[in-house]
Amino acid sequence: MNAERQRTKKSSALGLMKYALLIVAVLAALLPVYWLLTISLKSEVDQFAVPPLWFAFKPTWAHYYETFFVRPFGRYLLTSSIVALTSTALALLIGTLAAYSLARFTLPANLHERISFWIISTRMFPPIVTIVPLFLMMRDLRLLNTLPALIIVYTGFNLPFVVWMMRGFFEELPRDLEEAAMVDGDSRMGALVRVILPLVAPGLAATAIFCLIICWNEFLFALILTQTDSAITMPVGIAGRVTQYEIKWGAMSAAGVVAMIPILVFALAVQRYLVRGLSLGAVKG
Amino acid sequence: MRLGANVGELRTPWHERALPYLLLAPAVLVLLLLTIYPLIYAVTVSLQTRSGEWTLANFARLFSDRFFGVALLQTFIYTLAALIAEFLLGLGLALLLDSQIRARNLFRALLLIPMMLPPVVVAVIWRLIYNPNFGAINGTLKSWGLDTTKLTWIAGPQMALPSVILVDVWQWTPFMFLILLAGLQAIPQEPYEAAMIDGSSAWQTFRHITLPLLKPAILIALLLRTMDLLRIFDQIFILTQGGPGFATETISLYIYKTAFRFFDFGYAAAMSFVLLVLINFISIGYIRLLKRQEAKP
């Protein structure tokens, strides 16, 4: 009893410090993002003000106008969206079938476990190892500076992730479900589509969102496979301008803000699955 | 037929028997095409001269190339420094949030934001902050009357590497924190209750209960971060392009430049092969540790 009372006393004394530390951490996490937001809304004079203006400036939308109506960032956004959506859909289709197979069938010689391990290990592949061959391959196929090049690469990029996530979701469902449907005369594929898929729909949606985020953020392959305005994605568009000699900070920041908004919304939507997704299922959140 | 669910059905039609393979085939084909084929291609390119003769020159050059050595060393420094900082900060935050705290989910969601941002946007943010003249840091310090001429951040060779590491720590500490928090919350209550009855101190409880039970989550978090750190590219490319001079060049950047600025595909392939082997060895090490951990009662 005594020890417990001492503990509660101690914890109430520590309580304030805990919150103080947490607030410092939250500020450290968010102030840089807020800084980007302010730069995107400041006139050029205010951007270079010393001391920096954190609150007292007159907001302007001029940089957003410039970014999307004078510069081709609207186009980059569209490209990013098309590439992300198409490759996510493809990866989900191919990956879900494979995941179902790995979750439900026992193959001879433990083949299913071996294939599963191999698939997940391709995820560990450093992308830089494959860029030279993929660049040459896409050049030979005359796919450089086209959306299909990125769509193909991103589909492969997301596949291991989809297989791993979906396999976990399938394994959580009892086998009796399909078997009952199959006894009722459904084929296995019919049972998969009509019985199982609706049940894993939340997991499928979470997986899709993860894939979209990965595609949206991807930089290295996009940098190498696309160079023309008609094919470059948002990250490459931003990078191209940032590394130039004279940088338009306002326009850059505006592009950055617009690039991060969909990601933040999506990330919020998959909070529940975040741990599982990021640790590839190794840690259940 | 041993097709898992189909035990007992002796006469399964061929398409039923082939189904598991048919379902796997597209995924396996795409992955073969996008990882194994490029790998074989990379090995071939690395073993040839530009005119197509077989040679070991690209691999021999690795040993005499001082820049490769420096890039490798800097990659290790970057990886190790960021890993340690992210782990300690992430563990601290996870322990904080695992204790009794109000609005835990709100704090968690806010703390995770940096990790969600596109790396390119993160790099833009930090170029704004690090700018020696009007950046948030030097601007503030100047307004306090401090001399900032030595605080060059990413613009000067002495501070550049620590500065890019700091950006990594800012973005990826949330990842460590998230995985470790999940690990902490999965630990059952009973051992803690037992420790309380025994009158263990907070440190003893942490050392003998929390840490051992958290070890699998720690290993996973370290493994995944190590893989990502060893191939770091995006942020550094935009923050410094590996400069000033060679101060922040990492192995991925050096490979990129060798391939796409100097068009020496063979040498780039040889270097990326080394990186692959390196990453493989390190991840096998981690996986061994994990397996040993799981084998323990």
Give the model confidence (pLDDT) of A255-272 as tens digits: 999 999 988 888 888 887
Residues of chain A contacting residue B8, judged by C-beta atoms under 8 Å apart = none
Query: Would you state the pLDDT for residue A283?
Result: 66
Query: Would you state the pLDDT for residue B200?
Result: 82
Query: How much of chain B, in percent, has pLDDT values that exceed 70?
Result: 95
Q: How high does pLDDT run on average in chain B?
A: 86
CA distance B55 to chain A (A): 19
Q: Which of A229-233, B44-48, B171-175 reaches the highest mean pLDDT?
A: B171-175
Does A180 contact B at CB distance below 8 Å? no
Substitution target in A263, A279, A280, A284 with the highest count of B β-carbons within 10 Å is: A279
Each as own residue / partner, the long-range contacts of residues B224-228 (CB below 8 Å, 24 or more positions apart, any chain) are B224/A278, B224/A279, B224/A280, B224/B175, B224/B179, B225/B82, B225/B83, B225/B86, B225/B87, B225/B172, B225/B175, B225/B176, B226/B79, B226/B83, B226/B282, B226/B283, B226/B286, B227/A124, B227/A126, B227/B279, B227/B282, B227/B283, B228/B172
Q: Quick one: pLDDT band at residue B83, thresholds 50, 70, 90? A: very high
Average pLDDT over residues B246-263: 91
Query: Would you state the pLDDT for residue B205?
Result: 87
Looking at residue B263, the DSSP 8-state letter turns out to be: -
Query: How much of chain A, in percent, has pLDDT values that exceed 70?
Result: 92
Cα B100 to Cα B183, B197, B198, distances in angstroms: 16, 20, 22
- Tell the burial category of A120 from Cβ atoms under 10 Å away from its Cβ (0-12, 13-18, 19+): middle
State how far Cα A246 lies from the chain centre. 30
- Tell the burial category of B193 from Cβ atoms under 10 Å away from its Cβ (0-12, 13-18, 19+): exposed
Half-sphere exposure of B244 (CA within 13 A, CB side): 10
pLDDT over threshold 80, residue B2: no
pLDDT over threshold 70, residue B3: no
Residue B142 tokens, joined = 């100047």
Q: How far apart are CA B73 and CA B65, in angstroms?
A: 13
A242–B127: do the CB atoms touch at under 8 Å? yes
Q: Quick one: pLDDT band at residue B114, thresholds 50, 70, 90? A: very high
Query: Would you state the pLDDT for residue A42?
Result: 85
Nearest CB to A259: which of B41, B118, B133? B118
Q: Quick one: pLDDT band at residue B43, thresholds 50, 70, 90? A: confident
Nearest CB to B117: which of A263, A278, A284? A263
pLDDT over threshold 50, residue A45: yes
Whether the bond into B244 is cis, omega within 30 of 0: yes
> Is A163 within 8 Å of A98 (Cβ atoms)?
yes
Cβ neighbours, 10 Å, residue B217: 24
Phi, psi of A49 (to 5 degrees): -65, 140
Does B87 contact A at CB distance below 8 Å? no
Query: Would you state the pLDDT for residue A1?
Result: 47
Residues of chain B contacting residue A21, judged by C-beta atoms under 8 Å apart = 96
Does B20 contact A at CB distance below 8 Å? yes
In tens, the pLDDT along B212-223 reads 889 888 998 998
> Is B171 within 8 Å of B122 (Cβ atoms)?
yes
Q: How far apart are CA B130 and CA B189, in angstroms?
A: 45
Cα B8 to Cα B12, B113, B139, distances in angstroms: 10, 52, 76
- Among A193, A205, A194, A87, smallest CA distance to B23 is for A193
Radius of gyration of chain A (CA): 24
Q: Which of A124-128, A243-247, B31-35 reaches the highest mean pLDDT?
A: B31-35
Looking at residue A270, the DSSP 8-state letter turns out to be: T
Residues of chain B contacting residue A239, judged by C-beta atoms under 8 Å apart = 120, 123, 237-238
Structural domains for chain A: 2-60 (no CATH), 70-278 (1.10.3720.10)
Q: Quick one: pLDDT band at residue A244, thresholds 50, 70, 90? A: low
pLDDT over threshold 90, residue B280: no
Q: How far apart are CA B123 and CA B118, in angstroms?
A: 9
pLDDT over threshold 60, residue A174: yes
Q: Is B296 helix (H, G, I), strand (E, B) or coil?
A: coil
Residues of chain A contacting residue B58, judged by C-beta atoms under 8 Å apart = none
Number of H helices and E strands in chain B, helices first, is 14, 0
A260–B241: do the CB atoms touch at under 8 Å? no
Q: How far apart are CA A257 and CA A40, in angstroms?
A: 8
B120–A219: do the CB atoms touch at under 8 Å? yes
Query: Would you state the pLDDT for residue A11?
Result: 62
Cα B127 to Cα A248, B80, B222, B295, distances in angstroms: 12, 23, 27, 47
Q: How far apart are CA A149 and CA B176, in angstroms?
A: 33
Does B2 contact A at CB distance below 8 Å? yes
CA torsion A235-A237-A240-A245 (nearest 10°) is -120
Q: How high does pLDDT run on average in chain A?
A: 85
Q: What is the pTM of this model?
A: 0.87
Give me the DSSP letters along A145-203. TSHHHHHHHHHHHHHHHHHHHHHHHHHTS-THHHHHHHHTT--HHHHIIIIIHHHHHHH
In tens, the pLDDT along A98-147 reads 999 999 888 888 888 888 888 888 877 788 888 888 998 899 899 999 99
Q: Quick one: pLDDT band at residue B1, thresholds 50, 70, 90? A: very low
CA distance A74 to chain B (A): 16
Q: What is the length of chain A?
A: 285
Average pLDDT over residues A205-227: 91
Give me the amino acid identity at B132.
P
Average pLDDT over residues B32-46: 88
Does B259 contact A at CB distance below 8 Å? yes
Residue A264 tokens, joined = 């933040």
Nearest CB to A29: which of B20, B111, B185? B111
Query: Would you state the pLDDT for residue A154?
Result: 94
Query: Would you state the pLDDT for residue B71?
Result: 94
Give me the amino acid identity at B198.
D
Average pLDDT over residues A59-65: 86
Q: Which of A68-72, A96-100, A110-114, B47-51 reaches the highest mean pLDDT?
A: A96-100
Query: Would you state the pLDDT for residue B296?
Result: 62
Question: Bigger pLDDT: A129 or A23?
Answer: A23
Query: How much of chain A, in percent, has pLDDT values that exceed 90?
Result: 31
Average pLDDT over residues B273-284: 88
Structural domains for chain B: 62-295 (1.10.3720.10)
Query: Would you state the pLDDT for residue A82?
Result: 95
Whether the bond into A108 is cis, omega within 30 of 0: no
Q: How far apart are CA A182 and CA A189, in angstroms?
A: 10
Question: Bigger pLDDT: A94 or A227?
Answer: A94
Q: Quick one: pLDDT band at residue A208, thresholds 50, 70, 90? A: very high
Residues of chain A contacting residue B241, judged by C-beta atoms under 8 Å apart = 243
Query: Would you state the pLDDT for residue A6?
Result: 60
Phi, psi of B54 (to 5 degrees): -75, 135
CA distance B206 to chain A (A): 15
Diameter over CA atoms, chain A: 77
Task: Write the ipTM.
Answer: 0.85
Q: Which chain B residue's Cα is nearest to A192?
A: B23
B265–A21: do the CB atoms touch at under 8 Å? no
> Is A76 within 8 Å of A251 (Cβ atoms)?
no
Q: Quick one: pLDDT band at residue A33, thresholds 50, 70, 90? A: very high
